[in-house]
Amino acid sequence: MTMPILRALGRADYEPTVSAMRAFTEARTPDTPDEIWLCEHPPVYTQGLAGKPEHLLDAHGIPVVQTSRGGQVTFHGPGQVVAYPLIDLKRLGIYVKEYVFRIEHAVIKTLDHFGVTGHRVAGAPGIYVRLADPFGHAALTGPRIDPFEGLGKIAALGIKVSRHSTYHGVALNVAMDLQPFGGINPCGYEGLRTVDLSTIGVQATWDEAAGVLAARLASGLSP
């Protein structure tokens, strides 16, 4: 078995991309090679299956799309690397929890490539950075009344699994207009700050960040 095929979609509208992922997943057989699609979307809010309307505060005219992934509301826009792994979990021999762990690990390794330390927060999928010291290596330890105190979210995760096959995926903020995140409670958390690599002082191009993330995902999702 080989590593997943990487496909660069460029700037792609959200809804046709989701439709194409669903069609790919429904048509695949046990012999269909896995793929990872990379793209960036025009500005759009997406509301997951568990999404509550009160977490969308003010769309400011940006389209809002109901979608089939898990989770709450998030924002996609230019300057954000969106990666959609289309993976046969049964063939890979892992379950959903391990799959989520591997995607988050790929993001952490991508951030490490740029000198940034990424953190997990228990019960809140995605990857976070310390706002005061994004390059420091101190772990998140000890009891925290507010699990997001001092943290900013730099990558959001939302997946769908159908017949052991995955679609939707992960979004890494590189250099984007962050203002639309102010129109929502990101991923359902009131007051959670969203950041990108540019905000924390890392000047990386979209292509560079996409290349690193794709390589880490492909490595982590290969047999």
Q: What is the pTM of this model?
A: 0.95
Find the range with the poorest average confidence among 102-116, 134-148, 187-201.
Answer: 134-148
Which active-site residues does the annotation give? 187
**Which residues 6+ apart lie within 8 Å of 144 measured at CB?**
none
Q: How confident is the model at residue 72 (pLDDT cuts 50, 70, 90)?
A: confident
CA dist list (Å): 92 to 1, 31, 107, 174: 10, 12, 20, 30
Give residue-wise pLDDT tens across range 4-35: 999 999 999 999 999 999 999 999 999 999 99
CA dist list (Å): 207 to 9, 25, 77, 143, 172: 12, 26, 15, 38, 12
Q: What is the pLDDT of residue 147?
A: 86
Q: What is the token pair recorded at 75?
A: 């924002």
- DSSP state, residue 13: -
Sign of the CA dihedral with 119 first, then 122, 126, and 128 last:
negative
Domains of the chain are 5-220 (3.30.930.10)
Give residue-wise pLDDT tens across range 170-186: 999 999 999 999 999 88
Q: How confident is the model at residue 198 (pLDDT cuts 50, 70, 90)?
A: very high
Mean pLDDT of the chain: 94
| Residue 48 predicted with pLDDT over 90 | no
Kindly state the average pLDDT of the residues 140-167: 89
Q: What is the token pair recorded at 104?
A: 């988050």
Q: What is the pLDDT of residue 1?
A: 58
Other beta carbons within 10 Å of 96: 13
